[in-house]
Amino acid sequence: MPLPFKHLLSTKQLTRADTEEIIRVASVMEKVRTKGKSDLLKGKVLAALFYEPSTRTRLSFETAMLRLGGDVLTAEGIQFSSLYKGETIEDTMEMVGQYADIIAMRHPEQGSAEKAGSASRVPFINAGDGPGQHPTQALLDLFTIQKECTAIDGLHIAMVGDLRYGRTVHSLSYLLGLYKNLRFTLISPTELTMPEKVTSFLSEKKIPFAETTDIAAGLSADVLYMTRVQQERFADKSEYERLKLQYVLTEPMVKGKKVIIMHPLPRVGEISTDVDALPNAAYFRQAGNGVPVRMALLAMLLGKA
Dmax of the chain from CA atoms? 54
- From residue 266, give the alpha-carbon distance in Å to each of 37, 53, 98, 234, 239: 28, 11, 33, 17, 20
Among 67, 107, 228, 244, binds ligand NCD (CB under 6 A): 228
Rounded Cα distance between 163 and 195, Å, is: 7
Cβ atoms 189, 245 nearer than 8 A:
no
For residue 106, indicate whether it is catalytic.
Answer: yes
CB-based contacts of 182, cutoff 8 Å, min separation 6: 152, 153, 154, 155, 156, 157, 176, 207
Question: Which CB atom, from 168 or from 193, has the smaller least distance to ligand NCD?
Answer: 168
For residue 193, indicate whether it is catalytic.
Answer: no
Q: Which of residues 232-271 bind ligand NCD (CB under 6 A)?
A: 264-265
Among 107, 134, 164, 244, binds ligand NCD (CB under 6 A): 134
Number of residues that bind ligand NCD (CB under 6 A): 10
Query: Please, what is the minimum distance in Å from the beta carbon of residue 160 to ligand NCD?
Result: 12
Among 126, 144, 168, 246, binds ligand NCD (CB under 6 A): 168
Q: Which of residues 65-124 bind ligand NCD (CB under 6 A)?
A: none
Please report whether residue 289 would count as binding ligand NCD according to CB under 6 A.
no
Burial of 20 (0-12, 13-18, 19+ CB in 10 A): middle
Which residue minimizes CB distance to ligand NCD? 264
Cβ atoms 210, 150 nearer than 8 A:
no
For residue 134, indicate whether it is catalytic.
Answer: yes
Q: Which of 7, 134, 263, 294 is catalytic?
A: 134
Nearest to 105 by CA among 58, 45, 144: 58
Among 33, 167, 170, 294, binds ligand NCD (CB under 6 A): 167
Q: Show which residues are catalytic.
A: 56-57, 85, 106, 134
Binding site for ligand NCD (CB under 6 A): 56-57, 128, 134, 137, 167-168, 228, 264-265
